[in-house]
Amino acid sequence: MGIAYAAPYLPPPPPVSPWRGVKLSWTGWDGSEWELTNPASGLFLMPGVRGLGLPEFERQSSASPAVAGSRHLGTSTKDRTVFWPLYLYSDSGSAEFMARDRAFWRSLDPDSEGTWTAVLPDGTKRFLRCRLTSAEDEWTHDPVQRGWARYAINLLADQTYWLGEAVTRSWAQDDLRDFYITEHDRTEFGYADDVIHYLSAGGSLDGATFTNDGDVPSFPVWTIVGPVTAVAFGVDGKNIIVPFEIPAGYGVQIDTDPVEGQVLWYGHWDAAAEVITDPVDRTSELDPTSAFVSIPAGQDLPLSFSMTGAGAISVTVQNKYRRAT
């Protein structure tokens, strides 16, 4: 009889921590990209960062000497101030330090915005557009000789809310099946199979909704690509009516956010870049009953549209948040 050997003891794998941090990065106005929470990159934020939490509010009210207290009329949200206590270094010598230092400062500009990005543990991203306002860079040593420097950088976000990732839903004819979202997009980015819906040549879609999980109302961006002879679209039955024909190869786009001007752009449609080239402002031709309606926070409001023709229509929403997390 042979000798039986017991299986060797294998210790259980270490438990996976349920805790993850927030990854921060900066994309400069010049397109350069910088990690801000990875010390090994040679640039990282130190304790004391501001701008990730709530913005500053100002209460609007009215008062009367004959009545105690005041009457609440709402709030206004002020510009968001951002503060970065930052450490920049290089272990490769003075020339490398100066090159990195110059490139980083070139990414900051008082007149052009860059994007501060927060990647949350669940993989979602939020974005804040910022511009440089000032910086403190007092020399306590020669940074070129030592290869490191501490900076205190102040930025400003004119549009004070953090933005979520853009969410797009599209509706098209069968022959435009992947006009907006291709099979590669589905595989690469995980789009659901029901992102694109299909209409008859003169149809409408009932039951489509859009949820705003942000903290404030969000205004959708509508894009229509011809050929379309008539089209109306909107939120909760309040529609924008385009009173002119959109031929094949042309498109219209309107961002209903009042900050963006609520302009109806018309022009040649670049299918590869998915943009209107040489856009013409045709806002004045909109039907006067057209309504620019937002999607309130926390509500799942129905979308409404009707379209005659073999074109395509899409709606894009980028929700807004008071905090990065």
- All structural domains of the chain with their residue ranges: 23-61+71-163, 166-321
b (16+ CB within 10 A) / e for 170-193: bbbbeebeebbbeeeeeeeeebee
Alpha-carbon span 138 to 40, nearest angstrom: 24
Q: What is the DSSP letter of 161?
A: S
pLDDT of residue 120: 96
Instruction: Please say whether the beta carbons of 299 and 292 come within 8 A.
Output: no
d(CA 162, CA 157): 9
Confidence check: pLDDT of 187 > 70: no
Res. 3: pLDDT tops 80 = no
Q: What is the torsion angle, in degrees rounded to the nearest 10, for the CA atoms of residue 187, residue 188, residue 191 and residue 192?
A: 20
CATH class of 23-61+71-163: mainly beta
Mean pLDDT of the chain: 86
* Domain 166-321 of CATH type 2.60.120.860: yes
Cα–Cα distances in angstroms (integers) from residue 295 to residues 159, 166, 263, in the given order: 18, 14, 18
Q: What is the pLDDT of residues 285-323, one digit of tens each?
A: 998 889 898 988 987 788 888 888 888 888 899 999 999
Dig out the tokens for 149 from the structure: 């420097």
**pLDDT band for position 185 (cuts 50, 70, 90):** very low
Q: What is the mean predicted confidence (pLDDT) over 134-139?
A: 87
| Predicted pLDDT of residue 127 | 98
What pLDDT sits at residue 5?
65
48-93 pLDDT, tens digit each: 999 999 999 888 888 888 788 888 888 888 999 999 999 999 999 9
Burial of 227 (0-12, 13-18, 19+ CB in 10 A): middle
Instruction: Count CB atoms within 10 A of the CB of residue 289.
Output: 10
For the chain, the distance separating the N- and C-terminal CA atoms, rounded to the nearest angstrom, is 66
pLDDT tier for residue 192 given thresholds of 50, 70 and 90: very low
Can you tell me the mean pLDDT for 106-116?
98
Position 107 scores a pLDDT of: 98
* Residue that wins the pLDDT comparison between 113 and 234: 113
Could you read off the pLDDT of 285-295 as tens digits, one per residue?
998 889 898 98
Quickly state the pLDDT bin for 205 (edges 50, 70, 90): low
User: 113-116 long-range contacts, Cβ below 8 Å, gap at least 24?
Assistant: 113/29, 114/26, 114/27, 114/28, 114/29, 115/26, 115/27, 116/24, 116/25, 116/26, 116/51, 116/82, 116/155
Pick from 238, 247, 242: which is nearest to 310 by CA? 247
The answer to whether the beta carbons of residues 312 and 170 sit under 8 Å apart is yes
Cα atoms in the Cβ-side hemisphere of radius 13 Å centred on 321: 20
Q: Which two tokens stand for residue 142?
A: 């020669």
Cβ count within 10 A of residue 136: 10
